[in-house]
Amino acid sequence: MFSWRITKYNPKNRDEKGCYLDKKEWTCFSEVGTKVSKEDYIRTESDYVNAITTFMDELGVNKLYLNALEMWSDEVKSQNVSPFLSKMWVGKPISAQEIKELAKLTLRNVIWCKLSSKNKFFVHFGYDYYMYIGTNMDSPNARKKIEATGLYVEEFFSPYLD
């Protein structure tokens, strides 16, 4: 299985242990308006969401399955997404549009989820705007397209593998 960490964080700003050193960098949705403008946040969030569909397109995957789901009730209420989330359950096949919404909600710390398509593809989310994607085949075109948006694609095993 091929596996990558996809982030907005330049690998050149990491120490020898891999810790990111730029303390001025924003790391979550709650920093919109203080460390990051709404426009810059939305652009970055869109790049992450599109990274998922870029890999899916290269692999010919049109749906994923919801493998894990955690919700934080205060955030669900504040983002007004209860109707959408009431239709989600572990094991459910997820359409491309639902994947985009779940990714957005995860990046905004409303939920946490893991998505996959058997042994072909997975998406995991970590803290501080880290995303992990794994595929059963190399995906050079997807990686190139994602890097063209300004995101970094590094070979890395997901810490959220079962």
Task: Identify whether 50 is part of a domain.
Answer: yes
Residue 39 has what pLDDT?
98
Domain membership of residue 109 as a residue range: 2-13+38-155
Task: Identify whether 18 is part of a domain.
Answer: no
Number of domains in the chain: 1
Task: Identify whether 160 is part of a domain.
Answer: no
Does the structure show a pLDDT above 80 at 11?
A: yes
Task: Identify whether 8 is part of a domain.
Answer: yes
CB–CB of 146/52 below 8 Å?
no
Task: Identify whether 22 is part of a domain.
Answer: no
Predicted structure pTM score: 0.95
Task: Identify whether 21 is part of a domain.
Answer: no
Task: Identify whether 25 is part of a domain.
Answer: no
Task: Identify whether 24 is part of a domain.
Answer: no
CA separation for the pair 127, 143 (Å, rounded): 22
CA 31, chain centre distance (Å): 18
The string of pLDDT tens digits covering residues 47-99 is: 999 999 999 999 999 999 999 999 988 888 888 899 999 999 999 999 999 99
CB–CB of 122/98 below 8 Å?
no
CA separation for the pair 51, 55 (Å, rounded): 6
